Each structure stands twice: as C-alpha cells, then as structure tokens.
C-alpha cells in the first residue's frame, strides 16, 4: 500500500523550500535564513527538513518489503532474528523471534496512502511489552499524545478456554482473576475504542491480515487498515515524519548521527533487547549460558559507551536511547529473575545507572515509566507462567532509577 515515488517526494520538498524562500524575501536583510522569526516560515522549514530526511530514510524502502530478508532488516534497521533454519534452531533450544509483516509507512505528502495527520492514527499497545514501550516512549517524548490515540491491553493473555484460544492479547478493562487466583485490574487498561474487538487477533482479521497477532499496532482509523506492526519503524515515523505536527522540537534521528544511531540500534537489539529473550526463553542449558554471557558483555560495553557521553550518541537523546530504555527499565525487577540474568543488578553499572536517571527526567516520561507501568510488566512476565505468582518486590522501583546510587 506504500508506493510514493521519489520524484513525488522531491517535488513536494521543492515546493516547500520555494515557500520558505519566498517568505524570507519579506524579512529585513539582517534576518539570517536559518534564524527566520516567522512561526509559519519556521514550520515550513521544519517540514522541508523532515521531508528531506524521509526521502533519505526511505530511498530503498519506498515499497512494502516482500521478502523475509527485507522484513528482518527493514526501514529502521534490524527488526528481528535471522529466519534461516528458524524451526531447526528452535528445536535446538534457541529462541527465534518471528517477523512483523504489516509494514507500511506514513508520509508527509498529501497524496500518500497514509499521510501525516493529527487524530487519524491509533496505537494498540500492552504496557508489559518492551516493543510497545519504545513506541509509547517516542509518542510521549515527541509530544504526540493528542496526535495519536491509544488503547491499552491487559498484561495477561488469553487462556485455552477462551473463544479464540490461548496466548492472545486481549482487552480486559475491568480486570480478571489471575493464574494465581487473585483478582487484578489496572486503571490504565481500556476497551478497544476504535474497532470494538475483544482480541488483537480480531483487529488483524478485520484488516484482512490472518497471520499476525502481535503488538504494537499502528492503526489507521480512517481506512480501518493496519499501517504497521513493527515497533522500530513506528518509532522511526514518530521521530521523523511526525515532527511536523509534534509539540516538541526533539530530533530523534538527526542527519549527522544516523549512521552511528543505526549501528547502536543493531547492537542494542542483538545484545540487550532481544538478547534478554535469548537467555530467558532458551530451552537448552548451553544455549542459555551463551546468551547470558552475551547479554552481560553487552551491558559492559554500554557502561563503557556511557562513560564519555550523556546519551548513547552524544549529548542529546536519540532513537537509540529510546530503544535501550525498555529492557533496562525491566531489568532489575523482572529480567534479573524471570530471565535468569542474575550476574549483576543495574546499579552495579555506574554509567548506565546515571543514564537511567537522565532518561527518567525527560519531559513526558512519567506516564510511561511510573509504578503502575512497572506493575503491568511484572504481571505480564510472571503472571502467565508456572503458578502465576507475581513478586511483590523489589521495593523502591522504578523511583530508584531517578536517584544516584549511594555507592556511586
């Protein structure tokens, strides 16, 4: 569904630049081009910059990827595991993540199948899902809360005795009795306010997609189509094409740092974000031990990287930081025990701990990193395995992330 030609984008950006130049001739000679004072002109300049960035980002991805290889390495870099011999590797104990196949792109052109627009798009998310978390972080930090609406799923999935079967994301606004026999509910959980469905799988089916059941979903309320279910690409859209209508001026994917951001993103995905699952969901001891070692090697490298800069790629927050935050937010309270990643706690990495405090202090972070958010995570990871017992502790999280550790 995504097929806007390069020359169309180029024409649009040229038209925007012409508008900027025409308007700039009305300013006094002392007004430098890069310091235009008119809000309208600044918006047009910003839109031109964003459109140019979009052209560069999508130079090789302006059509929906058709091959598995193109989906694994998508428009925002590495998105999942290499799918070669996936079933064989699973049988040998390795966790191999599947592929998100709904991969369209929102564009800043009026004739695009999915144009940038306020109020048109909607997110289906689960707070306990780290891939949803990165998308919600981008929405919050970019100030898109009034631009993109959201519905929140219950953190525990369906069971065998439900109509569509087990292991499906579902809406339970009023809560339910958990696997441990205790009733649990969350104020932030909603119903499906757009399609009125009970299960996410039904949202996919209504949009003509039968092979997917994951979240997040970026949904077009106007056409009732799924724009994307790949979190890396949704985050990239929020940080680029949505800049023209965001309330913040952050550039999460600046031109001069793109190569480095892409490099860090791939490393974080392999070693940390997906690396945690490689350890936690492995079914063979030797596979787990390999993933365990790789994960902590990754944390060592991150701590060293953050010894010389405030954020992962310089002194300003970028997309790379947003993609790292969800697994580290979960590490001490969840992954340390649930995924058997128990070599160290996060406070033992001085620079990472400082970085966590800087991330927690960013504008817009509180609703997507508070105590209830963490409780969703604990319920989702612990409440659907074994006897479903959800740990009470550790005490003090996530508030502890905001403060310098006494040992530092």
pLDDT at 102: 82
Q: Does residue 396 contact residue 148 with C-beta atoms inside 8 Å?
A: no
Determine the Cα angle at 94 with ends 89 and 100, to 5°: 80
How far is Cα 286 from Cα 289, in angstroms, rounded to an integer? 5
Task: Copy the structure tokens of residue 291.
Answer: 């993933």
How far is Cα 198 from Cα 164, in angstroms, rounded to an integer? 10
Residue 225 to residues 44, 61, 122, 136, 146: CA-CA distances in angstroms? 29, 20, 11, 20, 20
Taking the CB of residue 179, how many other CB atoms lie within 10 A of it?
16
SS3 124: strand
Per run of 10 residues, the mean pLDDT along the chain (length 408 residues) is: 35 36 34 34 43 39 49 63 77 77 87 95 98 98 96 95 94 93 95 98 96 95 96 95 89 95 96 94 93 97 97 97 98 96 97 98 96 97 87 95 89
SS3 193: coil
The DSSP line for 313-338 is: TBSS--HHHHHHHHHHHHIIIIIHHH
Catalytic residue, chosen from 121, 124, 129, 401, is 129
Q: Does residue 269 contact residue 78 with C-beta atoms inside 8 Å?
A: yes
How far is Cα 3 from Cα 65, in angstroms, rounded to an integer? 11
Q: Does the active-site annotation cover 269? A: no
Distance, CA of 50 to chain centre? 20
Residue 292 to residues 22, 235, 295, 331, 379: CA-CA distances in angstroms? 59, 28, 5, 13, 23
How far is Cα 104 from Cα 217, in angstroms, rounded to an integer? 11
pLDDT at 75: 67
HSE at residue 343, side-chain half, CA atoms within 13 A, is 15
Strand 121-125 to 217-220 pairing: antiparallel
> Of 16, 243, 274, whose CA–CA distance to 142 is shortest?
243
pLDDT at 5: 35
Provide the phi-psi class of 64: left if phi over 0, else alpha when psi is between -120 and 50, else beta.
beta
Q: Does the active-site annotation cover 127? A: no
Task: Copy the structure tokens of residue 390.
Answer: 């959800």
Altogether, the residues listed in the chain come to a count of 408
How far is Cα 105 from Cα 186, in angstroms, rounded to an integer? 32
Q: Name beta bridge partners: 225.
A: 220
User: Can you give the pTM of this predicted structure?
Assistant: 0.82
Burial track 226-252 (b if 16+ CB lie within 10 A, e otherwise): bbbbbbbbbbbbbbbbbbbbbeeebbb
pLDDT at 259: 96
Burial track 281-298 (b if 16+ CB lie within 10 A, e otherwise): bbeeeebbebbbeebbeb
Catalytic residue, chosen from 277, 292, 335, 349, is 277
DSSP class of 357? H
What are the φ/ψ torsions at residue 39 (nearest 5 degrees)? -55, -40
């Amino acid at each position: 569904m995504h097929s806007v030609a390069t020359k169309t984008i180029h024409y649009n950006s040229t038209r925007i630049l012409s508008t900027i130049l025409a308007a700039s001739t009305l300013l006094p000679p002392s007004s430098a081009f890069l310091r235009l004072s008119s809000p309208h002109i600044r918006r047009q300049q910003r839109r031109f910059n964003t459109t140019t960035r979009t052209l560069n980002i999508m130079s090789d991805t302006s059509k929906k990827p058709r091959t598995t290889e193109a989906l694994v390495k998508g428009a925002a870099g590495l998105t999942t595991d290499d799918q070669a011999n996936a079933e064989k590797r699973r049988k040998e104990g390795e966790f191999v993540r599947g592929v998100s196949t709904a991969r369209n792109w929102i564009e800043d052109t009026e004739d695009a199948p999915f144009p940038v627009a306020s109020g048109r798009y909607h997110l289906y998310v689960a707070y306990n899902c780290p891939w949803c978390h990165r998308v919600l972080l981008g929405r919050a930090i970019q100030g898109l809360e009034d631009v993109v609406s959201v519905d929140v799923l219950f953190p525990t999935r369906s069971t065998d005795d439900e109509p569509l079967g087990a292991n499906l994301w579902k809406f339970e606004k009023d809560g339910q009795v958990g696997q441990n026999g205790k009733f649990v509910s969350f104020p932030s959980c909603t119903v499906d306010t757009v399609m009125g469905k009970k299960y996410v799988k039904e949202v996919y089916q209504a949009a003509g997609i039968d092979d997917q059941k994951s979240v997040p979903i970026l949904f077009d309320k106007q056409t009732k189509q799924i724009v994307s279910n790949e979190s890396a690409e949704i985050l990239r859209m929020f940080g680029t094409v949505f800049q023209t209508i965001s309330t913040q001026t952050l550039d999460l994917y600046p031109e001069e740092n793109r190569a480095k951001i892409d490099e860090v993103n791939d490393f974080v995905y392999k070693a940390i974000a997906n690396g945690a699952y490689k350890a936690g969901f492995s079914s063979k001891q030797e596979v787990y031990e390999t993933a365990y070692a790789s994960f902590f090697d990754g944390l060592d490298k991150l701590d060293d990287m953050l010894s010389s800069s405030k954020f992962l790629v310089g002194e300003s927050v970028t997309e790379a930081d947003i993609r790292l935050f969800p697994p580290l937010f979960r590490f001490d309270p969840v992954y340390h025990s649930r995924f058997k990643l128990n070599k160290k706690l996060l406070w033992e990495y001085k620079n990472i701990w400082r970085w966590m405090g800087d991330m927690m202090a960013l504008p817009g972070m509180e609703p997507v990193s508070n105590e209830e958010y963490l409780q969703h995570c604990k319920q989702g990871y612990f409440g659907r395995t074994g006897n479903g017992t959800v740990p009470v502790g550790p005490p003090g999280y996530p508030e502890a992330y905001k403060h310098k550790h006494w040992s530092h």
